[in-house]
Structure 1
Amino acid sequence: MESFDVTDGALPPVPAEEEPAGAGTGERARLAAVRRYQILGTPRDAALDRIAALAARIIDAPIGAVTIVDDERVWFAAAYGLPGVEQVTRGPGLCAEAVSRCGPYAVADTARDPDAREHPLVAGEPGVRFYAAAPITTPDGHRLGTVNVMGRRPREVAAEELAVLGDLAALAMEHLEMRLSALRAAALERAVHETAERERTQLAALADALQRSLLPPSLPELPHCEIAAHYQPAIEPIGGDFYDLFPLDEDGRRWGLFIGDVVGKGAQAASRTSLVRYTLRTEAITRPNPARMLTGLDAAIKLDQAVYGPGGVEMWFCTAAAAIVRPGPGGAIITVAAGGHPPLILLRAGGRLESRELRGPIIGCLDGAMFDNVHVELAAGDTLLLYTDGLIDAHRDGARFGEDGLRAFLAGCAGMAAPALMERLRGLIATFDEPADDDIAMVALSIPG
């Protein structure tokens, strides 16, 4: 018998023995381990190529290889001195025989070995005549393949040389373990990223749906008037700005019009915006007086602070303008009150620009808050603009846009109907610096000329 095992560095080589009980759990488990390390069919690995080259040089052999033994093939994960060979059919002898043994394995003359002489690398190119290998063994005892050397002339291999192959096989196993850990880490990172991306998409969809629920899906047609609105979110997908327009009677003689800004961002601001919006709607129906509507909203916010705030009180507030619009042929009468809100702007048909301060405290902050009604009349060609402070607090070319900047911009918009004015304002917003720090809500109402 020309083949032999070497165990524990014993000299001379001893005949192969049966695999000890408990060294493995059978071929099915071994193949499962091969699949686990995900090395079959992958591109050549530089570290394994170096191991194959070291094996050949240290043993003074023309061919070195790192192989993985599959169920029907032997795949060369790395090779030195064996160009063009990626895999061979699994058959008796050489690598297939080596993975059936516990320790290093050698064939001094393949032509005289009944298991090896029909092997394709022996019977064909490169005409292998000697072979030596050490199994690549997993920590749980499965032999994946071999680190081996081959030559075209018969020769004996010393036990010390086989021990070197064993060390190189251990290095190959350590590399495969690190590679598997990297693959698992990459898979985990990819799974985390995909989960985060999926959750981000779902959250974005929920945020969009929530934000849409805080704004009318579309503005109703206002008799004898043109109306346009725009909402521009800041960095957060959900903001506290809102606007609303709805009829207060069946014949469309009176309409409620609101615009406002609730402190905060995200879901908490959205819940507060919902409270503000529906409180104003209820107040408009039961008490269609803008000053009284804001008084009722102020009371509702303070009640919410006392009931739901940690420790009994959590300060939050909003700014808002509430209006009752009475449209008619050729004009509209608007009664409006505000708390902490920017001035309303009137673009008159003749080109004059009017800014009206709306006196009233921030809503939800002060005891005994009082709000005043202001009456505005719109004639043919006139336009009313209401907006939140995000429009004037935004930065353009590094400087705050401000009320002066807005008035200068609107000076060139005289005579524009509400839809055209809103389109022009959207273009203005596009020129603001990014990222925006605050949401912007705008409503324009005009009387056709």
Structure 2
Amino acid sequence: MMCRVDEDQEPDGEANVAATDAVFTSLLEDSAEELYEQAPCGYLSTLMDGTIAKINATLLEWLGMERSAVVGRMRFTDLLTVGGKLYHETHFAPMLRMKGEINGIALDIKAAGRQRMPVLVTSRVKTGTGGEPLLIRTTVFDARDRRAYEVELLRGRQAAEEARRQAEADRERLQEALAVLQQNLLPAALPTIPGLEAASYYHTASPDLLGGDFYDLFPIDPGRWAFFLGDVCGKGPQAAAVTSLTRYTLRAAALHDPDPVNVLTTLNTALHERYSSGDPRYCTAIFGILHADRDRVDVRLASGGHPSALIQRADGTADYLHTPGGMLIGVLPRVRFTPAHTELRPGDTLLLYTDGLTEARIGPDRALYGEDSLRAFTTAQPAAGPQALITALTGLLAGFGDGLDDDTALLALGVPASLTTPLRA
């Protein structure tokens, strides 16, 4: 059905628009006021002396106060804790006067129930047309969650720092214990042998792990001395247990039958019987006997899978003492060891070492140092006796830096060039 409206009955359009604008304006004003009052953050306006002129319901709720008790009666600083007041007077207010605004300052306000409430405060100075300051508008953000997070974060950092310190202390205690155990696997000092000189050095690749390198020098009867040097497979407590068994077996076997081949054979039997089932363990070793005979020292030795001994002669030459046929000790029930023999005269030095020395990585391409380089290095050193050679090798090892990543044991035995004590037969 059509509805006709006469022109003289048409509503006044301008009046309708005006009425509509009035309604929307009222709604906007109501919405703005409601947003101000119920905002998720606190709002307040203060005079330049800090007197509160306006405050929203959110902040009043946090404070647990009535509007009538705050507006015109209190200053902004009255809402702050003692520490907050001090910071406001010494930092906040001067910076606000200087810059006209200040953002995100952490303060504490006196909330309902006399509780401290952490907040973040931002203030700006409102100026007139002539630039004169009129009032200060301040926004207060609830920082309780943030403060709780910061506290937890701080506690976490403190706990992590405490854990780090505890871990360092535990590691230091562990390293001290390992150092004591390592020392017990090595002779405290080499014995003094009339007419002979002996020197040794031990490099630990990691203070957190027990090494498997070992050496010893001890008398077996008047005029004869036994020596050995070797390397147990692996590291840690298991390797230390093998090292201990190896040292005591070699000592006991040498006192029973000092023949180098028989001594290594006895050690092979002991290791194979002990470790053949379950976790197999083995080692390499050189064992030898020194026998003083007038102006020279007779050396008889045998090797079980160990790098050959190196001899530095008094005439400036150096070469390896070939020990063929040496097999790893402890792998097979029956093995064959080949004896070797040499003599040391005044100025000669016999050097025993573990493969940490020759397998060190050098240069930009991380190449093995190798036996040829060791022989060349030893040849270049003056024939000044075992201690001088060990000192030179210690400097060489230090120069490898992180290229020396394995334990290294050195044992040097020799006859001084200027013999003041006659060798006993």
TM-score by length of 2: 0.68
Tell me, yes or no, if structure 1 residue 362 matches structure 2 residue 334.
no
Specify the code of the residue in structure 2 equivalent to 1:60: S
- Counterpart CA distance in 2 for 1:240 and 1:369 is 22
C-alpha change, 1:142 and 1:265, in structure 2 (3 Å) is: farther
Which structure shows the bigger proportion of residues in helix conformation?
A: 2
Which residue pairs with 2:381 in the alignment?
Answer: 413
Aligned partner of residue 201 in structure 1, secondary structure: helix
Question: C-alpha deviations, 1:37-92, integer Å up to 9, x for none?
Answer: xxxxxxxxxxxxxx9xx85xx3112589xxxxxxxxxxxxxxxx79xxxxxxxxxx
Which residue pairs with 1:373 in the alignment?
Answer: 339
Q: How far did residue 293 of structure 1 move?
A: 1.0
Which residue pairs with 1:28 in the alignment?
Answer: none
Q: How far did residue 108 of structure 1 move?
A: 3.8
5+ unaligned residues in a row in structure 2: which ranges?
1-39, 52-58, 94-107, 124-137, 418-425
Which residue pairs with 1:434 in the alignment?
Answer: 402
Tell me, yes or no, if structure 1 residue 240 matches structure 2 residue 212.
yes
Q: How far did residue 315 of structure 1 move?
A: 1.8
Aligned partner of residue 437 in structure 1, secondary structure: coil
State whether residues 346 and 355 of structure 1, in contact with CA within 8 Å, keep that contact through their aligned partners in structure 2: yes
Which residue pairs with 1:45 in the alignment?
Answer: none
- Counterpart CA distance in 1 for 2:148 and 2:114 is 13
Q: How far did residue 205 of structure 1 move?
A: 0.8
Tell me, yes or no, if structure 1 residue 195 matches structure 2 residue 166.
yes
State whether residues 394 and 433 of structure 1, in contact with CA within 8 Å, keep that contact through their aligned partners in structure 2: no
Question: C-alpha deviations, 1:2-37, integer Å up to 9, x for none?
Answer: xxxxxxxxxxxxxxxxxxxxxxxxxxxxxxxxxxxx
State whether residues 118 and 147 of structure 2, in contact with CA within 8 Å, keep that contact through their aligned partners in structure 1: no
Residue pairs, 1:225-374, within 5 angstroms: 225-235=196-206, 237-249=209-221, 251=222, 253-306=223-276, 312-359=277-324, 360-374=326-340
Residue pairs, 1:44-123, within 5 angstroms: 55=42, 58-61=43-46, 103-104=64-65, 106-110=69-73
Aligned partner of residue 423 in structure 1, secondary structure: helix
Question: C-alpha deviations, 1:405-435, integer Å up to 9, x for none?
Answer: 1111111125221111111111211222514
Say what the alpha-carbon RMSD is for the aligned residues.
3.8
Q: Report the structure number with the largest CA radius of gyration.
A: 2
C-alpha change, 1:214 and 1:179, in structure 2 (3 Å) is: same
Aligned partner of residue 283 in structure 1, secondary structure: helix
1:385 to 351, 374, 382: 351
State whether residues 331 and 380 of structure 1, in contact with CA within 8 Å, keep that contact through their aligned partners in structure 2: yes
Question: C-alpha deviations, 1:307-343, integer Å up to 9, x for none?
Answer: xxxxx42122110001111234422112111100111
- Counterpart CA distance in 1 for 2:229 and 2:198 is 13
User: Identity across aligned pairs (percent)?
Assistant: 37
C-alpha change, 1:59 and 1:264, in structure 2 (3 Å) is: same
- Counterpart CA distance in 1 for 2:64 and 2:255 is 90
TM-score by length of 1: 0.65
- Counterpart CA distance in 1 for 2:246 and 2:65 is 80
5+ unaligned residues in a row in structure 1: which ranges?
1-50, 65-80, 83-97, 127-132, 151-164, 307-311
Q: How far did residue 438 of structure 1 move?
A: 1.7
Question: C-alpha deviations, 1:279-299, integer Å up to 9, x for none?
Answer: 111111222121111111111
- Counterpart CA distance in 2 for 1:435 and 1:196 is 27
- Counterpart CA distance in 1 for 2:387 and 2:405 is 26
Which residue pairs with 2:130 in the alignment?
Answer: none
Which residue pairs with 2:31 in the alignment?
Answer: none
Which residue pairs with 1:175 in the alignment?
Answer: 146
Q: How far did residue 181 of structure 1 move?
A: 0.6
C-alpha change, 1:142 and 1:233, in structure 2 (3 Å) is: farther
Q: How many residues align?
A: 329
Tell me, yes or no, if structure 1 residue 185 matches structure 2 residue 185.
no
